[in-house]
Amino acid sequence: MTATRPEGLPELLRHYVGGARTESASGEVFDVLEPSTNEVYIKCASGGAADIDAAVAAARTAFDDGPWPHLMPRERARVLYAIADAVEARHDHLAERESFDSGLPIRQARGQAKRAAENFRFFADLIVAQIDDAFRMPGRQVNYVNRKPKGVAGLITPWNTPFMQESWKLAPALASGCTVVLKPAEFTPLSAELWVEIMEEAGLPEGVFNMVHGFGESAGDALVKHEGVDLISFTGETTTGQLIFANCAPTMKAMSMELGGKSPAIIFADADIDAALDSTLFGVYSLNGERCTASSRLLVQREIYDDFVARYAERAKKIKVGPPSDPETEIAALVHPTHYARVMDYVEIGKSEARLVAGGDRPAHLPEGNYLNATVFADVPADARIFQEEIFGPVVAITPFDTTEEALELANNVKYGLAAYVWTSDLTKAHTVAHRIESGMVWINSHNVRDLRTPFGGVKGSGLGQEGGYRSLEFYSVQQAIHITLGDVHTTRFGATGYTDNDPGLGGPGA
């Protein structure tokens, strides 16, 4: 069973530099695979240092000499609204491309255009309503913040829900007045092609948006190291994030990195078990389990553990695995054979570490492609690799606990700290436990339903910095302090004669 190929695909996916589609300077291309068969369905230009040089030069010219950084917030907002409208107008087309290219079930891909459009509308609203600080020292000084776009932003995006993730970076970067070079994930370049026509249709000035396809070790590396790039926003796995961190240091780039996760869901005996089952099943198996905030470790209080495991496994066995284009499919094909092999390796490791209670194999009716049944491991020890390491697939580890202290120790005893989930009917316990979990985000009695105004980011191995709401605008902006003197400035007169000991000394009041 294969996915339905979208209509109107080009023969070659090309870069977009300075307002023109371009092929790689080297002429190199790479194959893009369709996950339900692993057959090559399109070629994509493979960028390198020369292509990044050209894209950064176009972005730098647009930033230094173009109108975009200097537009009034309302003028930029009008373009962002037009981008949002253009995204929504391509709703069905985008869903088809995203599903076909990434293996995302079509019923889940259909929400991506709406979420991407909302990102642009949200930041358009934010820059119009934004207030910067001013401070008074009566009779002495007025101080205010002059906010300016930071420069050329390098955006490196992942292959899970790629279009929406791209919008999550593009919207605040453009809203802030930056110009951008986008490097989409090489596994899933297809939907990124839509940005070209969307940006042109919305009237974005030439050179403000640029895109270079390619691999992390070539295009991505050149973008990170480029002296003409002022900041890097990266979403991906932790090892790559560590490398980017080191490579940004020589040019002192600003960085925001959202990295891997191994997020716990702590389920206490007094929780609404039916709701917890629904939410944690969705939390780990939606998006094929390829989500950084997946509740991939379920920590269940022992009083309800056996019943919970039995019910969870029963539900997991009923999850429909099928081709991405089938609207009934709940789990479809994993994105790429390389990633699929990695996930299957973890499944085999798990079989030697814990008790397999559901899945762990390929569906019989899907003999080709990157398919895996919803997989559940129970009685998983805290030192097991499937407990400690990010799998990024439809695999969950369930572990019992007795006390709150034990639950917290299990939750925090990994290198990651992105998201966490707490399930209990005791409000005091919910807050107390949430505060003590080492993660950037905690949801109580819910999966990750987000308010775009709130901070998004992780701690420990899950990231550096936070975005979301005004924090995103702060990352893409310089906040310059301007100080205006209103009265006499008392200054110790170095090298002069005749001054008294009444001078206030170095710095003066407020220093």
Active site residues: 258, 292
Burial pattern 488-511, b for ≥16 Cβ within 10 A else e, equals eeeeeeeeeeeeeeeeeeeeeeee
Dist. CA 425–CA 273, nearest whole Å: 10
Looking up tokens 């960028």 gives 47
* Residue 351: HSE in the Cβ half-sphere, 13 Å Cα cutoff: 10
> In 3-state terms, what secondary structure has residue 298?
strand
- Residues 303, 325: Cα–Cα separation, whole Å: 41
Which phi and psi (to 5°) does residue 96 adopt? -65, -45
Beta bridge partners of 396: 376
Q: Give me 105's structure tokens.
A: 């079930």
Token pair 């070629």 in the structure block, residue: 43
Q: Supply the DSSP symbol for 321.
A: B
Which one, of 277, 258, 276, 244, lies nearest residue 417 by Cα?
258
Give CA–CA dist 386/337, Å, rounded. 20
Beta partners for 210? 181
- Determine how β-strand 419-423 pairs with β-strand 395-401: unpaired
Residue that has been written with the tokens 């109580």 in this structure: 444
Taken in order 78, 79, 84, 86, the sign of the CA dihedral is: positive
Decide: 363 and 1 in contact? Cβ < 8 Å: no
Q: CA 386 from chain center: how many Å? A: 23
CA–CA distance from 314 to each of 83, 99, 281, 456 (Å)?
44, 27, 11, 33
Token output for 449: 């339903």
Q: Which residues make beta-bridge pairs with 420? A: 442
| Selection from 445, 454, 437 nearest residue 263 by Cα | 437
- Separation between Cα atoms, residue 391 and residue 395, nearest integer Å: 7
CA distance to 63, 109, 269, 376, per residue, from 76 (Å): 14, 28, 51, 48
Rounded Cα–Cα distance for residues 126 and 140 (Å): 33
Backbone angles phi, psi at 284, to 5 degrees: -105, -25
Residues 87/118, Cβ–Cβ less than 8 Å? no
Helix intervals (H) in 66-161? 73-89, 91-102, 106-109, 112-129
